[in-house]
Every structure is written in C-alpha cells, then in structure tokens.
Chains A and B, each alone.
Chain A
Amino acid sequence: MRTINKLITGILLLCATMTMAQEYKFGKVSKEELSEVSYPLDSSANAAVLYENKRVRISFNESVGFQLVTDVFKRVKLYNKEGFDYASDEIYLYKSGSNDETVSGLKGVTYNLSDDKIVETKLKKDGIFKSEFSENYNQVKFTMPTLQEGSVIEYKYKITSPFIYNIDKINLQYDIPIKKLEAKVETPEYYNFKKFTTGYLSVNLKETSYGDKITITSKTRSGVGGRGSVQTSYSKNSIDHIVNVNTILSNNVPAFKEEPYSGNINNYISSISYELSFVKFPNEPIDYRSTTWEDVVKTIYKNSKFGDELKKTNYYKEDIDNLISGVSDAVKKTALIYDFVKKKMNWNKKRSVITRKGVKKAYKEETGNAAEINLMLASMLEYAGVDTNPVLVSTSDRIIALFPTLDGFNYVISRVKFPDGKIIYLDATDKYGMPNILPDRVIRGAARVLNENGTSQRINLRPIKPSANRYSLQCEIDPEGSVKGIFNVQHLGYSAHDFRIANAAKDDESKAERFRKRYAINELDEYTAKGIKEYGKGVTERFNFACEDQIEVIEDEMFFSPLLFLKDEENVFKSNERQYPVDFGYGFSNMYMINIKIPEGYEVAEFPKPGAFKLPDNLGVFSYRSTVVNGMVQIVVNETINAPIITSDYYGALKEFYNQLIEKENEQVVLKKI
C-alpha cells in the first residue's frame, strides 16, 4: 500500500513537473497567464516577472575581437494599475573614449485579453527614447503601450559591449516576485572570472563547459611591389578552446521588501556579480587581476595612481619637515600631520581607491578625492617615520565584498601602528573626524588593511564601545502644573561626531530649534553649546525650559512621567517580523538623570518602581532607578544598545525591548495634595 502511495506521488510529481516545465518563447503568451488575477504565491504583488532569461557571453567577432554580448528577455505580468510602473524600463550603456556599448534588437509586445482573444500591441519607435545621460552613459528608456489590468508585457534586447571585463551585476531578485528566471554566463577559458553573490536566498548555480572554435582568417600579401604584381592569400586558422558556462535557475523568487534601518539593502537583494580574476592566452604569461588577496594588494600597488602616489614626497617635504621639526614622538607627529592634512585638504565628495588628478595637484589646490587625501596622509606619516598602512574600504553604499576583489573597494583610509602596538585609524576627508572616529560611510562599510609585503587582513571598523549621550534635567513643578528647569546633554564619541556633522556650521538659534521641534518645547532660552571645536572631547548643550503640557492636574492630583519630554513615545520598529538585520551604525547609550522638585503642599502618592531588563547575549540593556528624597523625585535611566548591528533572529526581542522601554518610561508619578 505504501509503495503504491509513493508511486502515485511519484507520478503526480512527474506530471506536475511536466506541466510546470512550461517553455517560454517570445510571443507565446498563454491565456492562462493573461487571465491570472493575482500572483498565486503573493497576492499582494502588483506585478510579477513571469519569466526572465539573461544570457551573457564573451564571444569572438573576427572584426573586433572578443566582445561581451548580453541578451535579455523578460515577460512581466501586470496585475493592477499599481503594477504599471513595471511596464517601463531603462538600459544604461557605458561609454569611454571612442568605445561604447550598443543596444540592438529591442522588441516589445503588450498582450491583452479581449473577448477571450489575445490582442497584441507592438512597442514602436514612439515608445523608445534615447538620450545622453552623462559623460559616461547613454540611456535608452522605453514604455509599453495599451496597458490594462491583467496585461502581460514582453520585451527583449541585446547589448553588445567592448568592455569585456565588466559583466554587469545580474539581479536575481526584484521588488516584485519572479516566477522563473534563467541566467547563463559563458566565458572562454582565456578569461577567468570570480563570482560572488548577495542576499539570503540560495542561488542554484550549475557549472558546465563545452568546446568551441574561433576561426580567424588571416590575409597575407606577397609580391615585389613596384611594377610587380601583389598577391593576397587568405588562410583560415581555427583555435579550439573551452567555454565555461554558469547556469542559474530560480523558481518562485519572493519579492524583495525594504525594511527600515537595514543599512545598504543591496547587500540583501539576491544577485550575482562577476569580476575578472586573470587573463591567460595561449603562449602568453598569465595576467592576474585578482584571485587572492595577495593579488589584489599587488595589483593595487602596481597601479601608478596608488602605489606611485604613496611614494611621492617632494611636494610636501618642506612643509612636513617644518611641521614636525624637533618632534620625535610618533603619537605627536601623527597628531600634527593628521591635523595638518585635515585642515588643509577639502574632500570633493568623490570616493575612490585611486587618485584622479594626483596627490601633487590635489595638495596645491587643497581639494581632492578620498584617495588623494588619504594616500597623501599615509605618505606623509610614513615619511615622518610612523608605521602606516593604507586601508581599502568598501563604503556603505557598496555591496560588501567577501571574496578577493578590487572592484569591491571604492575608498581608502589609513592605519597607524605606534611603537607600543597601539593602532589607530585615520580619515582626513572628514573635518569633524578624529583618530578612530570615522565617517558613517566608512564604519558601515567593509575594510581591508594592506601591507606592502603583499599580505592583507580584513578589519572591522565599527566602534567597539557604545557612544554615550548623557542627559540631565533639573526642574521644579509649580502648583498649577507647569514645569521649568535646566536641560543639559553631553554627546560623546560618535554621538559628538554626529552632532558636529549635523550642527557645527549652524547658528545657535538653529541648534536650539532642533529641541523645540523634537521635544515640542515652546519656552526655551539661554541655549548654549560648548566643545564643538574641541575635537576628541564631548559636546555639551544646555538650555532653560518651561512647559505647560507635561503635567496633568486632575482634581487634587498631579500625574506625569518623570522623564517628561525625554521619554520615548513611539517604537520605531512597527513591523511584526523582519528578514534583514537592524543596522544602528554604532552602539549607543542614552543616560538620563532627572531631578524634579515637588511643589509645596503636595506629596508623592505613587511613583514608578525601579526595574531593569536586557536583550539576549548582552546586545542591550535598560535600567530604571527611582527614589524620592527631600521633596525630590530622582530618576536615573540607562538605555544601551551595545551592538551596532542586530541580526534578524533578535528582531522580536528588540521590538519587545523597545515596547517595554516605552512602557516603563511612560509610567506615572502621582502627586497628591496634602
């Protein structure tokens, strides 16, 4: 009996796979596809990719040599009007010098069902728009005609590119579901690519290969010239080689849903990228691009816009000699040079691992990209005898490179090692930066320190310790229920850094305005901010306040949360589940010390009890202490998140942590008239 069951299941499965194995051919859209009203696996989808086929190959063309050819075919179902956005697409075509990518064979058809008949409308020229997008990109956009709810659209095109090293990232997931996706990448053995994937979905990739031939016709001219006749003879050469094939097959890929506080979402969307690791032609030496981290280091040092730039000293020699003359201590020298570069140089907001105009010109103009400024800094420190190494960084807007790759990096900073073994990291592009206080784009990225002997290590630039904000309120309540007092806050570490970035260039009035907005305080005066220019130290802000709506008087009792306007009221984590980590940037600790003087004629009837709770694995802690002494309500609260990143396994706990925190902070003190 059981075997029969098994057999039946087997047959059923077989049938199922047979019917499932629908063939997708351009132009063969079925009535079933057109009459489908919602995506079976996700009814909230406004549109779905029914089928996508992407074929990328490096093929040989006798007149131009190797080319990168990409064929794209996509069939998309539009369930409703909200899905119509997916009926327009854009193609970016890279160009550099006289080389440019071209698109050809763009065809599109919209299919609609009308009286149970399939009606086709072709995409015509009037729906295709070409433009020069920027210096390096042309753009082709198109939009499909005659859409209705339920339409299916199809389009296909071919991109031919002379830039064979740049295989574009292949997206394996969109913000709409994909029913079936096939991608094929074919590369001749001469070009060896390394691949890396992103996202949490498993990628079903098969590697195969086949033999192929390149035929080259060569022309030979013979003859004596002059009056003699010239003969041209043709000969065909055929070269056998192996083509490596990667085939990716995905079925039922769920839509990617963005979640707040995730950091760079591109790290979570499923995709595959290819980077050239070496080129090896027959009878030629192997040309490594990157296969191991050693190669990456070698390649970058070999690059004249990196390695050579580090070695140049003439342009700053005199200035640095003067700057550090008589200073022998490595720490002091480092401080002087870092400060000098930070003050002198102005970052042009360009992220780069290599220089563009060069360190010398950058120094003269006092502006430069990240490489110019930080290689200059590394070079000067090294020149001054301080042990310094460049650190390659992939900034937060980039996908984190887990495998040896050069393309993954787009930024550079410096690491200094002092004789006592102490290590600091420096980024002179950031005017408000400090040793080990690096810009957000850097700490949220990934980094690798390079050593000239070819070795390198992955490093984590996220701060280890949480940065503190210490708040204090000293205030008193009057018999009408108004409260007035003094507010103080001290920002330390990264919190101070954030404050400086956001507010240092603002006038005091604008700085005070933040608090009026955030705390809805109207009566706010004598605002001061101290320590803004003393980098490395904290920043202190203070003001006097008065508020009328914090305390509620009901008959002969007063009710209020002792945190007053400092209490958290809204949990930012609203979703009940989560797939991706929560990225706070850095750990933080908000500490509140509050003293409230009770008005004459009142006594404390109730006040919140002390309490504390934690996130698992010491990721965070909350504590609440409360006492009443000498007619004062005293509250000390500590909200700490230790980890810069909290993985989705802990999301439920994190949401609950904030729920409880808000509950506790909103507990009431009750004062009663004596």
Chain B
Amino acid sequence: MQKKILLILVAVMLFGFMKTFAQNDLSTQAIVLDSLLTKDANAIVRSEEIIIEINSVTSVTVKTKRTVTVLNKYGNGYADSYESYSPSLKIKRLEATVYDALGKEIKKYKKKDFQDRSVYDGISLMNDDRMKYINYTPTSYPYTLSFESEVESSSSAFIRPWWPMLAYRLSVEKSTYKIVNPSAIPIRIKETNFEGYPIEAKKANQEVSYAITSVPSKLPELYSPSYAEMVPIARIALSNFSLEGVEGSATDWKSFGKWQYEKLLSGRDQLPAGTIVEISKLIAGAATNKEKAKLIYEYVQNKTRYISVQLGIGGWMPFLASDVDRLGYGDCKALTNYTKALLDSQNIPSYYTVVFAKERRDIDADFASMQGNHVILNIPNENEDIWLECTSQTTPFNFIGDFTDNRNVLVIKPEGGEIKRTKKYEPEENTLITKATVNLMPDKSMIASVERIAEGLEYDWNYRVQFKTPKDQKIHYKEKWSYINNLEVNDIKLNDNKDDIRFTENIKVSCNTYTKKAGNRLLVTPNLFSCDQSNLPKYSDRNTSLVIPRGYVNVDEYVISIPKGYTLGNLPEKKSIETIFGSYTRELEKIDDSHIKFKRSLKIIDGTFPKEKYEEYRLFRNKIKKTDKSKIVLKQQ
C-alpha cells in the first residue's frame, strides 16, 4: 500500500515537473535518465549542438551548445566549460548555467565570470594560447551544466571535427554537428569508425550535418587500440584555407606538402658562411653521404638543445636556421630545419617530415589536412631511408626508437608532400641478452655479476639509466629486480656504443637472503634477472582487439653454483610454449654436481589480434610469470 502511494507521489511530482519544463528542454533534469546511458558512465552528454560557419578563409565561427549531466565526482571534468583563445582565435560569447537534479537553475555564469589563464602545454617555454574557464563546486549529484559559446577563428586550416564520443565513461544522448558554408569553399570530409553507430548524415552543396543519438559509454581495456581509432569522428578540411595569416589551397598531400614547403619552410635555411666552412671541414674525411650525415647530426646534437616556443605562425614555421646557429636552441621544427640546412650546404638532400610522435598514429594517407604534432628529418640514402630525431642530444644517428617508429609520416619535398612509413623495428632486432654468473652460499646469500646487452628498441628502453646519478642508478636496478628483497647493487659499469647502437650494462649485485630455507631444503629461484612482472586483467567480456604494439626477444643464460653441503635433486623438465603472440622456453641443465645452467628465451611478436585472442594472450603471460618465479629444491647432504 505504502509503495503504491509513493509511486503515485513520484508520478505526480514528475508530472508537475514535466509540465513546468515541457515547453523548455527536458535535458536539464536528471531525475529520469535512461539506464542505457547511465551504465558505466560518469557523465552523459544530454545534447550537443555544434554549428560551424565558414564565412571565408579568414573567418570561421564555431557555435557550441552543450548540456552535460554529471553523475558523480569523476564526471566533473566532462562538463567541459572552457574555451581557449589566442591572437587568432577570439571568444565572442561565453555562458554557462548549472541546474540541479530537478532541472532548476542554481547558478549562472556570464562571460565576465569566467576565469582566465594561460594554457601550459607541458613542454613549451612559451606559447600564446590562453583559456577562459569556470571552476564550479558541485553541491550535489547528479547536476547538469549547460554551456554555450561562440568563437571566431581567423585560421581555417583547422576545422573543429565532429567527435561526439569524447571519452571513456561518457555516454551521449544526442549530438549534432553542422557545417554552414556561405563561402562555398569546397570542403573535404573524412569519416572514420562510423560503422555500427546510429549516425544520420546529410551532405549537399559543400555543407554537411551529422546527428547521433543514444550511445552508451565505453570502458577502457588494456592492450586495446587507441580510443580515437574506435569511436566515430568526422574530420573536415577546406580546399582553400588560412593558417595564422598564411593562405593556401590544397586537396591532396602533394599540393598540401607543396604549400607547406613554399609558405612555411622555404627560405628559412640560410646559414652563416663561417658555419658552412666549419661543416665542410668537419666532414672532409668522410666518404659516404651517410657518414657525412652522421657527423652533421652529432654536430647538431653537441651544439643545440630543445627549447619550445610556440607563438602565432611560429607554431607552424621553424625559426630561421641562422637563429638556431646563433642561439643554439630551438623546437623540433627549428632543429630539424637547421639540420636540413647543414646537410643542404653539403649537397646531401633531406626532407622535413611531419609525424604524430609518442602514441603511434598515422598521418592519414588519404586525407590531406593539418596533422601531426612533431617533426623529424628524412634522408633518402640509396635504398634506405635515414630518419633523424633532431631534438635529442643523446639518441644515436638514424635511431628514432619507439617515439616515431613504424607509422605514416608526411615527407615535405619542394615538389610536394609524400606519405612514407618510418622504420619498423622487428622483434628480432629488439634484443636483450642477459648473462650472469651466480654464486649461492650456504647462509642463504647470493653474489652475482650480470651483463645485459640491449639493441634495437631494447636499447631505447634501457639506455637512459646512464644519465642518472650513481645513487639513482642503484635504485633503478633495485626497482628493476624489486622481487629480490634486500638486493644490494655493488658495482655498475655502463657502455653506450652509439655507433653500433648497443647498450651494455655490467652490474654486480648481492643479497644476504636470496634463497629460502625450509627444514633441510633450500629453495632457489633460478630466474634471478628476468622474472616477468606483467599483470594482465581478466575481462569476462572483452570488447576490443588485442594490440601488442612492439615485439622483442629476450634471452637469458646464467651459470649458478650451488652452495657447499647441498645436492641437486631432479631438475624440472624443459618448458616450451608456442603461441601466435610469440614463444617462451625455459630450461635448467646440470653442468656438474655443483653447477647448473639456467636458460630462458622469450619472443613477443607485435600485432593486432581479434578480441577473442586476448584471453589466450593473458594465459600465455600468466604461464610465463608462473614459470619464471618457480623454484628448485636443494637438499642438505
């Protein structure tokens, strides 16, 4: 009975409330929410409307109306309530309103109520981006925030894309997007991952609109493709555009690259005569272009350092080579352009190359537009491509590591742009060979000398330890082998062979309590230096493909001398596992009564595998982990 009354009450309340708001907009209440949208969500985009007006190449207006219901404290960040600005991007209108769960307005922000600060990008010494934002302190959850803005950009080289599903744990009730194009400048469109989503699209007369409704939130999963590769995005580019006052037109990479070359790069490569003389002397003894390029690269590494300054068109156009020569610093663009200028002075052709660095992402081969976040240098040399990372003072010549490996990049030549792929480091190239001599003592202690030789990407993953202080180097190894309690690092010798790209570590360690005693048994873990420490979660319902971004080969071989007074029992049999992701073997061999040999090899193959394969990979790693930490028993005589 009571329940029934309650229900009626709720209904009455709701009715009243609907009546009040029906003429308005239901999207500001958060009493009745679709469970499809609340599942696994921290916030819901109730409605989003973006209208982009292309008035001319130097005027693009973006009008945004966005209403987000925040369900819990982790969702606060999704109620995007900021707009950035710069000398070329002006905020014309800005407003935000907060509603409580019932949809009642509780706070309103006008443009003047927004706070203002510079945007620190995390790298730059200086840039000219700023933002206006609000800092709302929620009084209860759920609440709803409506945000409206209008910005006008004098740059049209970037058009805000339609990216309705912006993040994990965010669902979308409705999102619309519209390009209004009174200028009739031809537009190009690239739609990705539209399949399987309820998207309505309309295209006509160089205009386009999209709408999507009721998309549940996604949860992140480990070893999955990047988020942007899984959600629908529509990217727009104009055939005639302006970038910080520099106008251009392009429809494919060839013409786009040509524009970049002519308007942003060419003529910025003058060098002082003295420097050219110095370089000519420097390379006088070198026979091949590759040798010359190596000397020039090392010259740049010694002379310059990375300092990022992004102001106006300087965000896209490199400093003059002569400025880098004089100042000894610059950002990726400046240092690449400078290296190129030095190579040019010796008639070695090289090309400024735009790339997405860090997380692997391709420059979209069939959609020419402003892309990339980094610049490297390409030297075509006989049958190979040499790639130079000009911002690092420490990486070896022609070694780009996992920062820019294996991805499509835009190589800018005077005659136009060209898509190329950077070097892929195959599993067999990325080797870590560990050799050790281990002495076990009757008192549970252990002394060992270890040698590790790293090449390929393993070089990249290991060589930075040399830049740490001696104290931190010791801690580095204690952390690497953290499963050995009480480990002492007694001696460290490091050798960085940049010519062969090989990093060698010779380390002496000891531990007073390595083996465990149990009655007359001594328990020994023979894998001292390569215990797999991965921890892959189990997903009852995996939704995304398995991505192993890079392969490698690790080989270990140790000679272990067993303590006096103990005898070896039976050694475990050789263990081998073969899978499509790679292979693993572990073998223990008796050399003589007091010595055993431990051998291990692990090969991981990179690739993208169907989601069903994830569980198989997890079990593979679990078996490795279990075998790696397994013990052998020595018996007291």
User: Does A667 sit within 8 A of B, measured CB to CB?
Assistant: yes
Q: Which of B21-29, B111-119, B559-567, B601-609 contacts A (4 or more CB under 8 A)?
A: B111-119
Q: Is the interface of A mostly helix, strand, loop or mixed?
A: mixed
Instruction: Please indicate which of the listed interface residues B323, B327, B626, B630 has the most CB atoms of chain A within 10 Å of its own CB.
Output: B327
Asked if residues B115 and A135 are in contact (CB atoms below 8 Å), the reply is yes
Nearest neighbor of A81 in chain B, beta-carbon distance: B393
CA distance A570 to B531 in the complex (A): 14
Chain B residues lying within 8 Å of A71, measured Cβ to Cβ, are: none
Given contacts A129-B309, A667-B516, A668-B518, contact A520 B523 (CB under 8 A): no
User: Does A649 sit within 8 A of B, measured CB to CB?
Assistant: no
Asked if residues A147 and B305 are in contact (CB atoms below 8 Å), the reply is yes
User: Does B328 sit within 8 A of A, measured CB to CB?
Assistant: yes
Interface range, A side: 35 or more
The B309-348 residues at the A interface (CB cut-off 8 A) are 309, 323, 326-329
The A140-163 residues at the B interface (CB cut-off 8 A) are 141, 143, 145-149
The A332-360 residues at the B interface (CB cut-off 8 A) are 346-349
The A103-137 residues at the B interface (CB cut-off 8 A) are 121, 126-127, 129, 131-135
Asked if residues B516 and A522 are in contact (CB atoms below 8 Å), the reply is no
Interface range, B side: 35 or more
Q: Is the interface of B mostly helix, strand, loop or mixed?
A: mixed
Chain B residues lying within 8 Å of A132, measured Cβ to Cβ, are: 118, 130
Nearest neighbor of A557 in chain B, beta-carbon distance: B633
Asked if residues B475 and A574 are in contact (CB atoms below 8 Å), the reply is yes
CA distance A210 to B587 in the complex (A): 82
How many Å from the CB of B545 to the closest CB on chain A? 21
Contact of A131 among B118, B328, B523, B633 (CB under 8 A): B118
Chain B residues lying within 8 Å of A126, measured Cβ to Cβ, are: 323, 327
User: Does A367 sit within 8 A of B, measured CB to CB?
Assistant: yes
CA distance A629 to B485 in the complex (A): 31
Q: Which of B1-9, B155-163, B380-388, B476-484 contacts A (4 or more CB under 8 A)?
A: B476-484
User: Does B625 sit within 8 A of A, measured CB to CB?
Assistant: yes
Asked if residues A145 and B518 are in contact (CB atoms below 8 Å), the reply is no
Chain B residues lying within 8 Å of A349, measured Cβ to Cβ, are: 137
Asked if residues A367 and B137 are in contact (CB atoms below 8 Å), the reply is yes
User: Does A554 sit within 8 A of B, measured CB to CB?
Assistant: yes
The B602-629 residues at the A interface (CB cut-off 8 A) are 622, 625-626, 629
Asked if residues B307 and A143 are in contact (CB atoms below 8 Å), the reply is yes
CA distance A87 to B329 in the complex (A): 11
How many Å from the CB of B30 to the closest CB on chain A? 16
Nearest neighbor of B393 in chain A, beta-carbon distance: A81
User: Does A606 sit within 8 A of B, measured CB to CB?
Assistant: yes
Asked if residues A663 and B486 are in contact (CB atoms below 8 Å), the reply is yes
How many Å from the CB of A372 to the closest CB on chain B? 11
Chain B residues lying within 8 Å of A135, measured Cβ to Cβ, are: 115-117
CA distance A132 to B131 in the complex (A): 12
Asked if residues B137 and A554 are in contact (CB atoms below 8 Å), the reply is no
Chain B residues lying within 8 Å of A662, measured Cβ to Cβ, are: 485-486
Asked if residues A570 and B518 are in contact (CB atoms below 8 Å), the reply is no
Asked if residues B633 and A522 are in contact (CB atoms below 8 Å), the reply is no
User: Does A182 sit within 8 A of B, measured CB to CB?
Assistant: no
Given contacts A143-B329, A505-B74, contact A559 B303 (CB under 8 A): no
Contact of A145 among B327, B625, B629, B631 (CB under 8 A): B327
User: Does A84 sit within 8 A of B, measured CB to CB?
Assistant: yes
Chain B residues lying within 8 Å of A88, measured Cβ to Cβ, are: 125, 307
How many Å from the CB of A576 to the closest CB on chain B? 8
CA distance A559 to B516 in the complex (A): 11
How many Å from the CB of B466 to the closest CB on chain A? 10
Asked if residues A127 and B327 are in contact (CB atoms below 8 Å), the reply is yes
Chain B residues lying within 8 Å of A557, measured Cβ to Cβ, are: 633
CA distance A662 to B126 in the complex (A): 48
Contacts A81-B394, A143-B307 supplied; 20 other A-B pairs, CB < 8 Å: A44-B471, A88-B307, A121-B326, A126-B323, A126-B327, A131-B126, A135-B115, A147-B328, A346-B137, A367-B137, A505-B72, A505-B73, A517-B535, A552-B630, A570-B483, A574-B474, A606-B518, A606-B521, A667-B518, A670-B521
Report which B residues bind A (CB closer than 8 A): 40, 72-74, 107, 115-118, 125-126, 128, 130, 135, 137-139, 302-303, 305, 307, 309, 323, 326-329, 393-394, 467, 469-471, 474-475, 478-479, 482-483, 485-486, 513, 516, 518-519, 521, 523, 535, 537-538, 569-570, 572, 622, 625-626, 629-633
Report which A residues bind B (CB closer than 8 A): 44, 81-82, 84, 87-88, 121, 126-127, 129, 131-135, 141, 143, 145-149, 257, 346-349, 365-367, 505-507, 513, 516-517, 520, 522-523, 548-549, 552, 554-555, 557, 559, 569-571, 574-575, 605-606, 659, 662-663, 666-670
